[in-house]
Copies of this chain bind each other. A is one copy, B any other.
Protein backbone atom coordinates (compact mmCIF):
# COMPACT_ATOMS: atom_id res chain seq x y z
CA UNK A 1 0.00 0.00 0.00
CA UNK A 2 1.22 3.42 -0.96
CA UNK A 3 0.22 5.02 2.34
CA UNK A 4 2.05 2.27 4.29
CA UNK A 5 5.20 2.58 2.21
CA UNK A 6 5.14 6.33 2.51
CA UNK A 7 4.78 6.12 6.28
CA UNK A 8 7.63 3.62 6.50
CA UNK A 9 9.83 5.91 4.42
CA UNK A 10 8.87 8.85 6.59
CA UNK A 11 9.75 6.79 9.69
CA UNK A 12 13.16 5.90 8.32
CA UNK A 13 13.82 9.53 7.35
CA UNK A 14 12.88 10.62 10.86
CA UNK A 15 15.21 8.01 12.39
CA UNK A 16 18.05 9.15 10.15
CA UNK A 17 17.42 12.76 11.12
CA UNK A 18 17.51 11.85 14.82
CA UNK A 19 20.73 9.85 14.33
CA UNK A 20 22.40 12.81 12.59
CA UNK A 21 21.28 15.18 15.34
CA UNK A 22 22.69 12.81 17.97
CA UNK A 23 26.10 12.66 16.24
CA UNK A 24 26.21 16.43 15.86
CA UNK A 25 25.34 16.87 19.53
CA UNK A 26 27.99 14.36 20.61
CA UNK A 27 30.64 16.17 18.58
CA UNK A 28 29.71 19.64 19.71
CA UNK A 29 28.61 19.14 23.31
CA UNK A 30 30.57 16.05 24.37
CA UNK A 31 28.96 13.03 25.96
CA UNK A 32 27.91 14.73 29.17
CA UNK A 33 25.99 17.33 27.15
CA UNK A 34 24.27 14.80 24.91
CA UNK A 35 20.89 14.67 26.59
CA UNK A 36 17.55 14.02 24.88
CA UNK A 37 16.80 17.70 25.24
CA UNK A 38 20.08 18.79 23.57
CA UNK A 39 19.67 16.30 20.69
CA UNK A 40 16.11 17.49 20.08
CA UNK A 41 17.25 21.11 20.09
CA UNK A 42 20.05 20.34 17.60
CA UNK A 43 17.68 18.56 15.24
CA UNK A 44 14.69 20.83 15.72
CA UNK A 45 12.27 18.06 16.74
CA UNK A 46 10.38 16.99 19.84
CA UNK A 47 12.45 14.88 22.24
CA UNK A 48 9.60 12.39 22.61
CA UNK A 49 10.55 11.16 19.11
CA UNK A 50 13.86 9.85 20.50
CA UNK A 51 12.09 7.59 22.99
CA UNK A 52 9.47 6.55 20.44
CA UNK A 53 12.05 5.48 17.84
CA UNK A 54 15.02 4.33 19.95
CA UNK A 55 13.70 3.66 23.46
CA UNK A 56 16.46 5.65 25.18
CA UNK A 57 19.37 8.00 24.55
CA UNK A 58 21.98 5.19 24.89
CA UNK A 59 19.87 3.14 22.44
CA UNK A 60 19.98 6.04 19.99
CA UNK A 61 23.73 6.54 20.41
CA UNK A 62 24.42 2.87 19.77
CA UNK A 63 22.36 3.08 16.59
CA UNK A 64 24.26 6.22 15.61
CA UNK A 65 27.56 4.39 16.08
CA UNK A 66 26.26 1.46 13.99
CA UNK A 67 25.21 3.66 11.13
CA UNK A 68 28.39 5.73 11.16
CA UNK A 69 30.69 2.76 11.53
CA UNK A 70 29.11 0.73 8.70
CA UNK A 71 29.45 3.62 6.32
CA UNK A 72 33.08 4.24 7.27
CA UNK A 73 34.12 0.58 7.28
CA UNK A 74 32.70 0.20 3.77
CA UNK A 75 34.63 3.26 2.59
CA UNK A 76 37.91 2.18 4.18
CA UNK A 77 37.56 -1.42 3.08
CA UNK A 78 38.05 -0.23 -0.48
CA UNK A 79 41.20 1.68 0.53
CA UNK A 80 42.49 -1.27 2.59
CA UNK A 81 42.14 -3.52 -0.45
CA UNK A 82 44.81 -1.48 -2.19
CA UNK A 83 47.33 -1.69 0.65
CA UNK A 84 50.51 -3.44 -0.38
CA UNK A 85 53.03 -2.20 2.19
CA UNK A 86 53.27 -0.99 5.79
CA UNK A 87 53.83 2.52 4.41
CA UNK A 88 50.46 2.31 2.64
CA UNK A 89 48.84 1.27 5.92
CA UNK A 90 50.34 4.23 7.80
CA UNK A 91 49.10 6.50 5.00
CA UNK A 92 45.55 5.21 5.45
CA UNK A 93 45.72 5.67 9.23
CA UNK A 94 46.85 9.25 8.75
CA UNK A 95 44.03 9.94 6.29
CA UNK A 96 41.47 8.44 8.67
CA UNK A 97 42.81 10.61 11.47
CA UNK A 98 42.68 13.78 9.33
CA UNK A 99 39.11 13.01 8.28
CA UNK A 100 38.16 12.45 11.90
CA UNK A 101 39.54 15.81 12.92
CA UNK A 102 36.89 17.31 10.66
CA UNK A 103 33.98 14.91 11.18
CA UNK A 104 34.57 13.87 14.80
CA UNK A 105 33.15 10.43 13.98
CA UNK A 106 35.70 8.24 15.78
CA UNK A 107 35.88 10.76 18.57
CA UNK A 108 32.18 10.18 19.06
CA UNK A 109 32.92 6.45 19.26
CA UNK A 110 35.50 6.89 22.01
CA UNK A 111 32.93 8.87 23.96
CA UNK A 112 30.34 6.20 23.49
CA UNK A 113 32.87 3.58 24.63
CA UNK A 114 33.87 5.53 27.69
CA UNK A 115 30.26 6.11 28.64
CA UNK A 116 29.17 2.46 28.40
CA UNK A 117 28.29 1.49 31.94
CA UNK A 118 28.97 -2.25 31.68
CA UNK A 119 29.18 -5.31 29.40
CA UNK A 120 25.49 -5.07 28.43
CA UNK A 121 26.13 -1.70 26.84
CA UNK A 122 29.74 -2.52 25.99
CA UNK A 123 29.24 -5.70 23.98
CA UNK A 124 27.29 -4.26 21.03
CA UNK A 125 29.86 -1.45 20.73
CA UNK A 126 32.64 -4.03 20.78
CA UNK A 127 30.86 -6.15 18.14
CA UNK A 128 30.84 -3.18 15.85
CA UNK A 129 34.41 -2.13 16.66
CA UNK A 130 35.48 -5.66 15.79
CA UNK A 131 34.83 -4.78 12.14
CA UNK A 132 37.52 -2.13 12.42
CA UNK A 133 39.98 -4.58 13.97
CA UNK A 134 39.25 -7.07 11.17
CA UNK A 135 39.77 -4.35 8.59
CA UNK A 136 43.20 -3.51 10.06
CA UNK A 137 44.01 -7.21 10.21
CA UNK A 138 43.20 -7.69 6.50
CA UNK A 139 45.25 -4.65 5.53
CA UNK A 140 48.10 -5.87 7.74
CA UNK A 141 47.94 -9.25 6.00
CA UNK A 142 48.37 -7.48 2.66
CA UNK A 143 51.11 -5.15 3.97
CA UNK A 144 53.33 -7.55 5.87
CA UNK A 145 55.44 -10.12 4.08
CA UNK A 146 56.26 -13.70 5.04
CA UNK A 147 58.98 -13.44 7.69
CA UNK A 148 57.40 -10.68 9.76
CA UNK A 149 53.96 -12.31 9.50
CA UNK A 150 55.51 -15.46 10.99
CA UNK A 151 56.61 -13.68 14.19
CA UNK A 152 53.86 -11.08 14.63
CA UNK A 153 50.36 -12.54 15.13
CA UNK A 154 48.05 -10.51 12.88
CA UNK A 155 45.00 -10.39 15.16
CA UNK A 156 46.96 -9.11 18.16
CA UNK A 157 48.85 -6.58 16.03
CA UNK A 158 45.56 -5.34 14.55
CA UNK A 159 44.02 -5.05 18.03
CA UNK A 160 47.05 -3.09 19.26
CA UNK A 161 46.99 -0.75 16.24
CA UNK A 162 43.24 -0.15 16.56
CA UNK A 163 43.68 0.53 20.30
CA UNK A 164 46.48 2.99 19.59
CA UNK A 165 44.30 4.78 17.07
CA UNK A 166 41.50 5.11 19.64
CA UNK A 167 43.95 6.45 22.21
CA UNK A 168 45.33 9.01 19.75
CA UNK A 169 41.80 10.24 18.94
CA UNK A 170 41.04 10.47 22.66
CA UNK A 171 44.21 12.54 23.31
CA UNK A 172 43.82 14.72 20.21
CA UNK A 173 40.32 15.74 21.17
CA UNK A 174 41.49 16.98 24.59
CA UNK A 175 43.33 19.78 22.82
CA UNK A 176 43.67 19.55 19.04
CA UNK A 177 46.39 22.22 19.02
CA UNK A 178 48.61 20.17 21.30
CA UNK A 179 48.06 16.91 19.47
CA UNK A 180 51.21 14.97 18.63
CA UNK A 181 49.37 12.71 16.20
CA UNK A 182 51.16 14.20 13.17
CA UNK A 183 54.59 13.45 14.65
CA UNK A 184 53.46 9.94 15.64
CA UNK A 185 52.33 9.21 12.06
CA UNK A 186 55.66 10.58 10.77
CA UNK A 187 57.49 8.21 13.12
CA UNK A 188 55.36 5.27 12.01
CA UNK A 189 56.03 6.13 8.36
CA UNK A 190 59.80 6.07 9.07
CA UNK A 191 59.51 2.80 10.96
CA UNK A 192 57.46 1.28 8.15
CA UNK A 193 60.18 2.22 5.64
CA UNK A 194 62.84 0.82 7.97
CA UNK A 195 60.99 -2.48 8.39
CA UNK A 196 60.41 -2.68 4.64
CA UNK A 197 64.15 -2.17 4.16
CA UNK A 198 65.23 -4.75 6.73
CA UNK A 199 62.55 -7.38 6.16
CA UNK A 200 63.99 -8.82 2.91
CA UNK A 201 67.25 -9.62 4.71
CA UNK A 202 65.25 -11.46 7.40
CA UNK A 203 63.30 -13.49 4.86
CA UNK A 204 62.85 -17.15 5.73
CA UNK A 205 60.88 -18.23 2.69
CA UNK A 206 62.89 -16.58 -0.03
CA UNK A 207 66.57 -16.07 0.75
CA UNK A 208 67.10 -14.62 -2.72
CA UNK A 209 64.69 -11.72 -2.15
CA UNK A 210 66.69 -8.54 -1.60
CA UNK A 211 70.32 -8.26 -0.60
CA UNK A 212 71.18 -8.12 3.13
CA UNK A 213 70.98 -4.55 4.36
CA UNK A 214 74.39 -3.16 5.22
CA UNK A 215 74.30 -1.01 8.34
Contact = CB atoms under 8 A, between A and B. Distances in A.
B191 A151 contact: yes
Greatest chain B CB density within 10 A among A117, A171, A173, A186 is at A171
Interface stretch (A3-11, A28-36, A39-47): A28-36
Contacts of A152: 187, 190-191
- Please state the number of chain copies in the assembly: 2
Contact of A162 (B111, B167, B202, B207): B167
Contacts of A157: 187
Interface of A: 29-33, 58, 110-111, 113-119, 122-123, 125-126, 129, 147, 151-153, 155-157, 159-160, 162-168, 170-171, 173-178, 180, 183-184, 186-188, 190-191, 194, 198, 201-204, 207, 215
Given A110-B114, A114-B114, A163-B170, 10 more contacts: A30-B116, A32-B58, A147-B215, A160-B184, A160-B187, A162-B167, A164-B164, A166-B170, A198-B202, A202-B215
